Structure 1
Amino acid sequence: MTVRKSIVFNGDLGSGKSTVSVEIARRLGMRRVSVGDLYRQMAQERQMTALQLNLHAELDQAVDGYVDQLQRDIAASGEALVMDSRLAWHFFTDALKVHMITEPGEAARRVLLRPSGPAESYISLEEAKAKLRERSESERNRFIVRYGVDKARLRNYDLVCDSTRATADEVITHIIDAYEGRIGADVLRDAPPLLLLDPARVYPTEDITTLRGLWDSEFVGEVAEAGGEALEPLRIGYTGEYFFVVDGHRRLSAALQNGFHLVPAQLVAEVGEPVVGGMSAVDYFAAHARPSTIHDWAAAHGVTLPLPEHALLNGDAVLAGDPSSGA
């Protein structure tokens, strides 16, 4: 197994990077550096909001240049540390590169709850969602133009962790376990990234009526006893917005029945990459995640899965169990 010195974090605004990175640094006895804190300080000094500084940085390369050189110097120093930075994964070669994600509404709620400052404040949930999305897209576009890298591409990272429902302690424990080789070692070594996903946010691609063994109490009990981290990783596709099962519906169902907040998974294909038979992840999801498939799975497991755009536009948009369907 590759021995990694540092842990570098990036990810969605409001995903909990700061909380998690601070505690991981404390538990591992490492120094922590936050580029986000530096950007907020720079914004405040310029009497700008964080979004305004992002937009300004698209035109003024000096903003990124200063921070980039700082990160290069830290990476070259060889010091083992924890770094909270949206681009550290691009500069570090011997680090565990962690990308944190969360559902946009939950991210906005968290941001609204934390103390606001002159560089970052919102008056409503909808404004927070819109501004966070705008900031993220501004950063993404800037990084593509300036560095030729897309921060939204999951294969840039070693570990992707969904913090939507997981507690901070669950996230911290899983990341440290991955860093120290106790979970996902094979995936991290052979086919990163290791995904730690919220099972309630993963979409099915097979009708629940055709799946065997979902309600096998013995298997569900074995999973409960072993814990979610002991599950064989699900095989997952990613459209750029939605995660979906390629293989592992039974394991996903057991995780949901046991109330797990995180399950391990391996990324099979993302966006335009082929899943099977040359069909891209986006096309595979559109072909297999039908409205009735999504509705029946969600109803059976007591979760909410918003219908993706392709399903809303699909002719199969009458949901199973809808009284108006005549079923």
Structure 2
Amino acid sequence: MTGPRTVVLNGDLGSGKTTVSVALAERLGVRRVSIGDLYRQMAAEHGMTALQFNLHAELDDKIDHHIDQLQHDIAASGEPLVVDSRLAWHFFRGAYKVHLVTDPLVAARRVLGRPGGPVEQYTSIEDACTQLAARSESERQRFLTRYGADKTRLQNYDLICDTTSASPADIVTRIIECAAAPACFLDPHRVRQTSSTESDGEIVVLHQNPHFFAVCGGLRLDAAVRAGETLIPVQLVNEAEKVP
């Protein structure tokens, strides 16, 4: 990255947004803002879990209006920031937009390993998977209804990075190095092969949330898996197009 520019990080629940955003802000020497921290604070003040507060917000639009105004005000300030928020990409028009993805089971293990609290409570891996999926879908539907914005549409972002196996330091490096052009980096172990992928060309991938399917470049994908790589560059098929 050259010159100060706001970076907004969206991502799956349990994708490591907090860890990556903290490290990125330190690396860039800018202030970090977490909308998620504010949201969890509001949930606690209402005596609710995060999932309960999401469902409550579907019925009470004052919650989203408050957070929206906060993000508008922050964006209008012009201060270069690192913003950890699942909707900041919609409000910070000129920002560098990064989306983090991760395997749902890995995400569940991560949130289950966090210190317990009244806002996020999980009894097992299965419970964590169920709650995370429900929270994510609740948010997606709310954002679609209120803003016409689908957070799972990867074409919304400048950079997609898979945090399933890659270290936070590796993710921060990709964010800084790839700011000049759109890019997507995935864990090759997560990309599912299809019958038409036996080629040695560029790895082309179709996203069907939360899964990724290779439509060509299977030989390169196999080689990356055998080599134990954690991040590989891929080309995304436009989600509005049919797979050839």
> TM range, normalised to the smaller chain?
over 0.9
The alpha carbon displacement at 1:140 in A equals: 0.7
The letter for the 2-side match of 1:204 is Q
The letter for the 1-side match of 2:241 is E
Q: Structure 2 vs 1, CA of residues 70 and 246 (structure 1 numbering), >3 Å: closer, same or farther? A: same
Structure 1 CA distance for aligned equivalents of residues 57 and 227 of structure 2: 46
**Corresponding residue SS for 2:171:** helix
The alpha carbon displacement at 1:275 in A equals: 3.1
| Count of residues in Structure 1 that have an aligned counterpart in Structure 2 | 244
Deviations 1:67-124 (A, max 9, x none): 1011011111211110000100000111111111111111010001111211111111
The letter for the 2-side match of 1:75 is A
Percentage identity across paired residues of the two chains:
57
Q: Which residue of 1 aligns with 2:149?
A: 149
The alpha carbon displacement at 1:2 in A equals: 9.9
What are the residue-to-residue correspondences of 1:36-115 with 2, within 5 Å? 36-115=36-115
What are the residue-to-residue correspondences of 1:233-244 with 2, within 5 Å? 234-244=203-213
Cα pair 2:54 2:138 within 8 Å, conserved: yes
Q: Does 1:205 find its partner at 2:173?
A: no
Structure 1 CA distance for aligned equivalents of residues 130 and 212 of structure 2: 22
Q: Which residue of 2 aligns with 1:28?
A: 28
Structure 2 CA distance for aligned equivalents of residues 136 and 56 of structure 1: 14
Structure 2 CA distance for aligned equivalents of residues 36 and 124 of structure 1: 23
**Which runs of 5 or more structure 1 residues have no equivalent in the other structure?**
189-193, 214-231, 277-327
Between 28-37 and 155-164, report the one with greater CA deviation.
155-164
The alpha carbon displacement at 1:207 in A equals: 6.5
Q: Which residue of 2 aligns with 1:19?
A: 19
**Corresponding residue SS for 1:238:** strand
Structure 2 CA distance for aligned equivalents of residues 247 and 123 of structure 1: 40
Cα pair 2:184 2:234 within 8 Å, conserved: yes
Q: Which residue of 2 aligns with 1:259?
A: 228
Q: Which residue of 1 aligns with 2:242?
A: 274
Structure 1 CA distance for aligned equivalents of residues 43 and 208 of structure 2: 34
The alpha carbon displacement at 1:233 in A equals: 5.6
Cα pair 1:10 1:17 within 8 Å, conserved: yes
Structure 2 CA distance for aligned equivalents of residues 205 and 129 of structure 1: 26
Structure 2 CA distance for aligned equivalents of residues 2 and 25 of structure 1: 15
- Structure 1 segments, 4+ long, off by >4 Å, are 1-4
Structure 1 CA distance for aligned equivalents of residues 134 and 171 of structure 2: 26
Q: Which residue of 1 aligns with 2:5?
A: 5
Task: Let me know the Cα RMSD of the aligned residues.
Answer: 2.1
The letter for the 1-side match of 2:238 is A
Q: Which residue of 2 aligns with 1:311?
A: none
**Corresponding residue SS for 1:58:** helix
Structure whose CA Rg is larger: 1
**Corresponding residue SS for 1:274:** coil
The alpha carbon displacement at 1:239 in A equals: 2.5
Structure 2 CA distance for aligned equivalents of residues 145 and 124 of structure 1: 31
Structure 2 CA distance for aligned equivalents of residues 207 and 129 of structure 1: 31
Cα pair 1:4 1:96 within 8 Å, conserved: no
The alpha carbon displacement at 1:173 in A equals: 1.6
What are the residue-to-residue correspondences of 1:159-174 with 2, within 5 Å? 159-174=159-174
Structure 2 CA distance for aligned equivalents of residues 18 and 88 of structure 1: 14
Cα pair 1:269 1:275 within 8 Å, conserved: no
Cα pair 1:32 1:83 within 8 Å, conserved: yes
TM-score (norm 1): 0.70
